[in-house]
């Protein structure tokens, strides 16, 4: 009568562990590619949603009457200071976050604030997931960057404005002094074949 064998041999266990490790090693780069593709897809949808919300709101200028000068000053809606917080055309967040003095009656742009302007998210109130709502009322992409806006007649199609994300490299021509190569991975609200 021979001895009964129980369990696995050391060689069998090593083979099983080696196969599991090899499968895991193969899946790591694939997971990274899938995660990046998910970021691109979600940000592309976000850019389109924001562009549609702005178009649907049907406002490109925010008129503010100044009783002192008895004149109306038109502000670019969604980019009230025409260059964003850092001079980079960021889609507006809360105006007081860009310029804390705006709440003061002596501030040159106080009438904009007093007239009810509170930036894109608070004024338009689009239905965006929490992950795209950044600090200071800004819309952020899947990489954590603020979306950008620029107004230019006919440059961005019939809308007259463009919304974009800097994409995975987190750079665009505004960051690099006009180097268009940095725009290759940007996600835009307009067609790039113009």
Determine, yes or no, domain membership for 20: no
* DSSP letter (8 states) at residue 74: E
Band (149; pLDDT cuts 50, 70, 90): confident
Determine, yes or no, domain membership for 87: yes
**pLDDT tens figures, 92-118:** 888 887 777 777 877 767 777 888 888
Q: Which domain holds residue 119?
A: 40-188
Instruction: Give the number of other Cβ atoms within 10 Å of residue 50's Cβ.
Output: 25
State pTM to two decimals: 0.75
Determine, yes or no, domain membership for 73: yes
Number of domains in the chain: 1
Judge whether 77 and 91 are in contact, CB under 8 Å. no
Judge whether 74 and 92 are in contact, CB under 8 Å. no
Determine, yes or no, domain membership for 1: no
**pLDDT tens figures, 39-93:** 999 999 999 999 888 888 766 677 777 777 888 877 777 776 555 444 568 888 8
Determine, yes or no, domain membership for 34: no
Band (172; pLDDT cuts 50, 70, 90): confident
Determine, yes or no, domain membership for 52: yes
| pLDDT value of position 193 | 47
């Amino acid at each position: 009568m021979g001895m009964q064998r129980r369990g696995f041999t050391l060689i069998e266990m090593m083979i099983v562990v080696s196969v599991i490790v090899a499968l895991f090693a193969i899946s790591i780069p694939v997971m990274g590619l899938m995660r990046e593709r998910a970021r691109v897809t979600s940000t592309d949808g976000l850019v389109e949603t924001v562009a549609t919300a702005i178009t649907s709101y049907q406002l490109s200028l925010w008129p503010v009457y100044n009783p002192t000068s008895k004149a109306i000053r038109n502000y670019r809606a969604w980019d009230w200071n025409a260059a964003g917080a850092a001079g980079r055309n960021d889609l507006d967040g809360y105006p007081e976050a860009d310029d804390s003095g705006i709440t003061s009656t002596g501030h040159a742009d106080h009438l904009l604030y007093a007239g009810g302007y509170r930036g894109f998210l608070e004024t338009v109130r689009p239905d965006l997931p929490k992950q795209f709502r950044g600090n200071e009322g800004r819309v952020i992409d899947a990489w954590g960057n603020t979306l950008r806006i620029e107004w230019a007649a006919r440059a961005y199609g019939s809308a007259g404005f463009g919304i974009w994300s800097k994409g995975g490299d987190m750079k665009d021509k505004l960051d690099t002094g006009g180097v268009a190569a940095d725009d290759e991975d940007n996600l835009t609200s307009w067609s790039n074949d113009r």
